């Protein structure tokens, strides 16, 4: 049975059980939106190619219903660990900066002694 309300067209269709189809569509839509919001941390991790994507998805599924679990999963998804070769590169850059500062300091000391 089709129901037209105030010229707005088709609103719903009653099923055999008496449960209107538009209510079922409403609950399905709400469920999809809630599930999408719940899985948002997993989507972020997937987008960032996070190395711990599977674990973030598991934490989100198990504890995402709790606000703290969802926040932890989101924070973990936003944190991207630095690859090992980049850590070594950072160490090399730090050593180069320290050496550069040492050389500048020596040059300043020499300039002060000349005066």
What span, in angstroms and rounded, lies between the C-alpha atoms of 65 and 72?
Answer: 12
Mean pLDDT to the nearest integer, 1-11? 49
Show the tokens assigned to 87: 């850590």
* CA-closest candidate to residue 12, choices 29, 1, 32, 28: 1
User: Where do the domains of the chain lie?
Assistant: 2-81, 82-115
What span, in angstroms and rounded, lies between the C-alpha atoms of 8 and 30?
Answer: 22
Predicted pLDDT of residue 16 = 56
pLDDT band at 55 (very low <50, low <70, confident <90, very high): very high
What span, in angstroms and rounded, lies between the C-alpha atoms of 35 and 28?
Answer: 10
Mean pLDDT to the nearest integer, 74-90? 76
Regarding pTM above 0.85, the answer is: no
What span, in angstroms and rounded, lies between the C-alpha atoms of 41 and 51?
Answer: 14
Q: How far is CA 24 from the centre of its chain?
A: 31
């Amino acid at each position: 049975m089709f129901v037209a309300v105030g010229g707005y067209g088709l609103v719903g269709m009653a099923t055999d059980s008496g449960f209107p189809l538009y209510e079922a569509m409403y609950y399905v839509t709400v469920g999809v939106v809630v599930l999408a919001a719940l899985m948002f941390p997993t989507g972020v991790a997937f987008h960032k190619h996070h190395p711990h994507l599977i674990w973030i998805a598991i934490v989100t599924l198990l504890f995402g219903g709790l606000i703290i679990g969802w926040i932890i999963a989101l924070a973990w998804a936003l944190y991207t660990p630095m690859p090992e070769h980049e850590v070594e590169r950072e160490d090399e850059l730090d050593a180069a900066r320290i050496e550069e500062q040492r050389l500048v300091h020596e040059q300043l000391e020499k300039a002060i002694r000349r005066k």
